[in-house]
Amino acid sequence: MPSTPSQSLVDLARAVGIATDFWDWKGQHTVVSAESIRAVLAALDIDAHDEESTQRALAEHEIGPWRRVLPPTVVAREGWTPWVPVHLPHGSEVHVVATLEDGTERVVPQVDRWVEPREVDGALVGEATVELPGDLPTGWHTLTAVVEGPDGSSTSTSATLVVTPQRLELPDALREKPATGLLAQLYQVRSRESWGVGDLHDLGTLASWAAGDLGADFVLVNPLHAAEPTVPLEPSPYLPTTRRFVNPIYLHVEDIPETVGLGPDEAETVAELAAQARRLNGTELLDRDASWTLKRQALELVHRVGLAGRRAADYARYLEEEGEGLATFATWCALADVHGLPDTAWPEDVATVTGPGVARFRAEHAELVDFHSWLQWILDRQLGEVQRRARDAGMALGIINDLAVGVHPTGADAWGLADALARGVTVGAPPDQFNQLGQDWSQPPWRPDRLAELGYAPFRDMVRTVLRDAGGIRVDHIIGLFRLWWIPAGGNPSQGTYVRFDHEALIGILCLEAQRAGAVVIGEDLGVVEPSTRAYLLERGVLGTSIMWFEWADGQPLPPEAYRELCFSSVTTHDLPPTAGYLALEHVDVRERLGLLTRPVEEERAQELHSIAAVGDAMKARGLLAEGTDASAYVEAMHAWMAQTPSRMLGYALADLVGDRRAVNQPGTNREYPNWSVPLAGPDGQPLSLEEAMASPLAPRLAAALRGER
């Protein structure tokens, strides 16, 4: 039986940001078990296995800041003048300066504030207090404290100083009028030129069509994060090997300039590989493994052509800009090629990024490491071209990228950023109405303490990459930047608990990097959300997310005028079936078949039919829906409903534009459902090409409805 935590265990957990109780989706108060709390503490390297160790850990946590001269990272908003504690031997003096990004130094004055010194590890330590100037510019700066002892000795300590904007202002295009755009799962969108999986050339075509024929301002795509370099590939774009780099399966081989340098034999081989890959375009389920196997062979041939002139110089600049982060990722990919996956079976000397054999391996396999670095450069340039095509076609924002919650537990980030990730736990979500068993996403979470120790550099670098050549970023499960559901290894989702993060730092950095990129930030804030979270996001200028099926008030569909203004609103989302499928109760049938319901299926169907009828009645009351209309008219009316909201961004799903019915993902499943492997299809379930999708007669109707032009 789970045991109730002691008061000291509760005090320790709360001190480090671990919830000891919470309110579930049914409004029931739940106390977290002592076993779960201890497991989460252990993931933070805190030993609390008994009362004595718990008391010791609590005392260590309290004295810890006094052992540091400066906090590891100081985050402030523009215009703020926070006080920063500085710890130093009692009787010493300190001088603090802020070195700005441009090299300018600013004196940080000390304030008159007395703090009683205390004994730390046998020595008396004092605390001075400095106040940051309120006119520091936004950016990444350095705070340096020079401590001068009574004996004339001098020591210097530095910390990261981040100044973030008070608020991320909307791009001009969103202030003038609401933006409408397309939601697409790129891998689904196969054209006649695809290699079995939708690619960046297809994305450019999709964006140009959406802008020209539908008047779209953006295309929001699934996460493009990298998967493993060897088959079998993880199908979920939300379980990548890294979030900083991009999946080369999305490369369009023929768009690489060096293909013209292929010799006759190599060119013939690439043409044959392309022909084989294009035979995959009509399969009922996507075959990523076959697609990548063929595409990789072609890419290796193109890589061997080499670079010259401006291209060589551009690649050299890219390598320098990406630095060790890219080198580490490319090394992991090369290791995966040589030693296979998972990386838990690798030789001991390369089992960790700091292993003694890593540098030697990198030197011995320099060509292979370069291949994986080159792939990222090509991806970066093709992504830039896609954004250019989108903007040239008339899109106000262009491509909006999606940022996944986390990474694969044995992937590149888990290896290269191991010190920043927690072990012995996974990320997930507690039970809720649509996932009544909860969810385990099998991802290791960031460690809040290590992020601060690292100056938030891993988070910053990841965000910068996703924002590069994009008009915006959608942050999946943005409430995870406030608190995240950690599940002890071996437990089920209901045995987890929330762990808090420094949201002022994480959201602030997100806003800073988006401001620099001129981008919009959309926070997916669905599910169990604390009211203060949405208020905070509103304050910082981050858009929330509303899905029509989830928006209710007093047992009725939320009136459109009651939707949030600073919000991205749509009829559906990728975790639900397309709207035609939802109306047919596809989501109920799938969950019944897979045993995911926690109440009788008849009750589930009755509840969903009642909800659908209520939405229909509300639309009829507004004159948006006539009696006896078919499913396509119902879908069109829902988009017309959304057009009446004040939301600054409105989206229509590509799947809805073509009458697709199957969900791309069924939360709470792994292999039970073909998650992320369902191609775009028509109402009859037959795969549709991109060319056929662009000819859909429903597409212009839904786009016009969402613009309020119905």
- Between CA 191 and CA 281 the distance in angstroms is 7
Query: Residue 25 above 80 pLDDT?
Result: no
Helix axes 631-643, 698-706, angle to 10 degrees: 30
User: C-alpha distances in angstroms, 586 versus 320, 593, 609, 660, 681?
Assistant: 50, 11, 12, 11, 15
Angle at 51 between CA 45 and CA 54, to 5 degrees: 30
Whole-angstrom distance, CA of residue 648 vs CA of residue 541:
12
pLDDT of 114 > 80? The answer is yes
Closest CA to 659 of 638, 681, 643, 642: 681
Contact 123, 141 (CB under 8 A): no
Residue 263: predicted pLDDT: 97
**Mean pLDDT for the stretch of residues 246-265:** 98
pLDDT band for position 2 (cuts 50, 70, 90): confident
All structural domains of the chain with their residue ranges = 7-64, 79-164
Confidence of residue 433 (pLDDT cuts 50, 70, 90): low
Token pair recorded at residue 221: 């795509």
Fold of 79-164: Immunoglobulin-like (2.60.40)
Element (H, E) at 227: none
- The rounded distance, in Å, linking the Cα atoms of 260 and 270 is 11
Main-chain dihedrals φ then ψ at residue 184, nearest 5 degrees: -140, 145
Task: Quickly tell me which residue has 């990459």 as its tokens.
Answer: 465
Whole-Å CA distances, 141 to 101, 147, 162, 347, 674: 5, 20, 6, 40, 47
Place of tokens 């429903």: 698
Torsion over CA of 640, 642, 646 and 651, rounded to 10 degrees? -110
Q: Is residue 594 very low, low, confident or very high in pLDDT (cuts 50, 70, 90)?
A: confident
CA 194, 200, 203, 204 torsion-angle sign: negative
Mean model confidence pLDDT for the chain? 95
Region of poorest pLDDT, from 50-59, 146-155, 284-293, 383-392: 146-155
CB contact set of 81 (below 8 Å; sequence gap of 6+): 131, 132, 133, 134
Widest distance between CA atoms in the chain: 90
Contact (CB, 8 A) for 649 and 543: yes
Indicate the residue type of 508. G
Distance, in Å, from the CA atom of 681 to the CA atom of 700, rounded to the nearest integer, reads 18
Q: What is the mean pLDDT of the segment spanning 29-48?
A: 95
pLDDT at residue 159 tops 70: yes
Rounded Cα distance between 227 and 230, Å, is: 9
pLDDT-derived band at 174 (thresholds 50, 70, 90) equals confident
Tokens of 146: 């020079």
How many whole angstroms separate alpha carbon 136 and alpha carbon 162?
Answer: 10
Q: What tokens does 709 get?
A: 């032009």
- Residue 307 CB neighbour total at 10 angstroms: 17
**3-class secondary structure per residue, 516-550:** HHCCEEEECCCCCCCHHHHHHHHHHCCEEEEEHHH
Instruction: Give the model confidence (pLDDT) of 200-210 as tens digits.
Output: 999 999 999 99
What is the mean pLDDT of the segment spanning 233-249? Answer: 97
With vertex at residue 707, the alpha carbon angle to CA 705 and CA 710, rounded to the nearest 5 degrees, is 35
pLDDT band at 595 (very low <50, low <70, confident <90, very high): confident
Instruction: Provide mean pLDDT across the span 442-468.
Output: 97
Structure token digits, residue 678: 């369902």
Secondary structure of 366-419 as H, E, C letters: HHHHHHHHHHHHHHHHHHHHHHHHHHHCCCCCEEEEEECCCCCCCCHHHHHCHH
Banded pLDDT at 434 (limits 50, 70, 90): low
pLDDT at 124 over 80: yes
- Looking at the DSSP assignment, which residues form a beta bridge with residue 98? 106, 143
Q: Which two tokens stand for residue 267?
A: 């060119």
Tens digits of per-residue pLDDT, 266-304?
999 999 999 999 999 999 999 999 999 999 999 999 999
| pLDDT at 670 > cutoff 80 | no
Confidence of residue 1 (pLDDT cuts 50, 70, 90): low
Percentages helix, strand, coil for the chain (3-state, rounded to 5) are: 45, 20, 40
* Four-CA torsion 497, 503, 505, 508, nearest 10 degrees: 150
List, in order, residues 6 or more apart from 112 with CB less than 8 Å away.
none
Percent of the chain with pLDDT over 90: 89
| Rounded Cα distance, 641 and 628, in Å | 18
State the Cα–Cα distance between residues 699 and 344, nearest whole angstrom: 47
Q: Give the span between the Cα atoms of 476 and 304, in whole angstroms.
A: 38
For the segment 100-112, the average pLDDT, to the nearest whole number, is: 96
Residue 435: pLDDT over 80: no
Q: How confident is the model at residue 439 (pLDDT cuts 50, 70, 90)?
A: confident
The helix/strand count (H/E) of the chain reads as: 22, 24
Predicted local distance difference test score (pLDDT) of residue 176:
84
> Confidence class of residue 682 from pLDDT cuts 50, 70 and 90?
very high
Q: Using CA atoms, how far apart are residues 551 and 568, in angstroms rounded to an integer?
A: 13
Q: Listing from the earlier edge strand, what are the strands of the sheet with 649-653?
A: 520-523, 472-475, 398-403, 218-221, 179-184, 649-653, 567-570, 544-547
The first and second tokens of residue 382, run together, are 């093709």
Q: Flag whether the pTM goes above 0.85.
A: yes
Q: Is 441 a residue whose pLDDT tops 90?
A: no
